[in-house]
């Protein structure tokens, strides 16, 4: 079952301006060390930050809160599998909110899709709950 859906569209040039103006203060407030390392290794550094910004906004919407109620930017982090597929990792208050949203007997998965086409970066987040199948005892 779908527990939440969120989307966000970010202007890459706006993120570039924010990075120029606030630099590390902005990076350290919004992005985890892993997200920063990923962005700084990329040719399109600003586009990478913009997609992750959009993912955090989309995730907060999928959680049904937006960026309020104690949620922190760093409570939502985009990582990549070895295949390159992005995944959302939730910690802190965001993880607590996800736990509260997830019905008993279910496990939640946060799906994320990222794309960009200058000057836009876009993210979609879908939170899905699937029934947990108890282990069979032989």
Inside any domain, residue 137: no
Q: Please, is 76 exposed, middle or buried when counting C-beta atoms within 10 Å of its C-beta (0-12, 13-18, 19+)?
A: buried
What sign does the dihedral 90-116-12-68 (CA atoms) show? negative
Mean pLDDT score of the chain: 94
Domain count, the chain: 1
Residues 66-121: tens digit of each pLDDT = 776 667 899 999 999 999 999 999 999 999 999 999 999 999 999 999 999 999 99
Inside any domain, residue 136: no
Inside any domain, residue 138: no
How much is the pLDDT for 79?
A: 95
Share of the chain above pLDDT 70, in %: 94
Size of the chain in residues: 138
- Record the pTM: 0.92
Furthest C-alpha separation in the chain: 63
DSSP state of 84: S
CATH of the domain at 111: 3.90.470.20
Residue 72 tokens, joined: 């922190």
Does 127 have pLDDT greater than 80?
yes
Residue 51 · residue 44 · CB < 8 Å = no
Inside any domain, residue 127: yes
Inside any domain, residue 67: yes
Inside any domain, residue 19: yes
Spell 22-36 as b/e; 16+ CB within 10 A means b: eeeebbeebbbeebb
**Containing domain of residue 115, as a range?**
2-131
Strand, coil or helix: 121 = strand
Backbone φ and ψ for 58, nearest 5 degrees, come out as: -65, -40
How much is the pLDDT for 70?
A: 66
């Amino acid at each position: 079952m779908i527990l939440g859906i969120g989307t966000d569209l970010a202007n890459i040039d706006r993120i570039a301006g924010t990075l120029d103006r606030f630099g590390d203060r902005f990076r350290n407030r919004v992005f985890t060390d892993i997200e920063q390392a990923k962005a700084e290794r990329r040719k399109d550094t600003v586009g990478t930050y913009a997609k992750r910004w959009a993912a955090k906004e989309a995730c907060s919407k999928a959680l049904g809160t937006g960026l309020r109620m104690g949620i922190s930017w760093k409570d939502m982090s985009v990582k990549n599998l070895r295949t390159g597929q992005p995944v959302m990792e939730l910690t802190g208050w965001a993880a607590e909110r996800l736990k509260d949203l997830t019905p008993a007997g279910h496990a939640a998965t946060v799906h994320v899709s990222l794309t960009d086409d200058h000057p836009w970066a876009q993210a979609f987040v879908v939170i899905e709950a699937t029934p947990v199948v108890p282990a069979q005892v032989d």
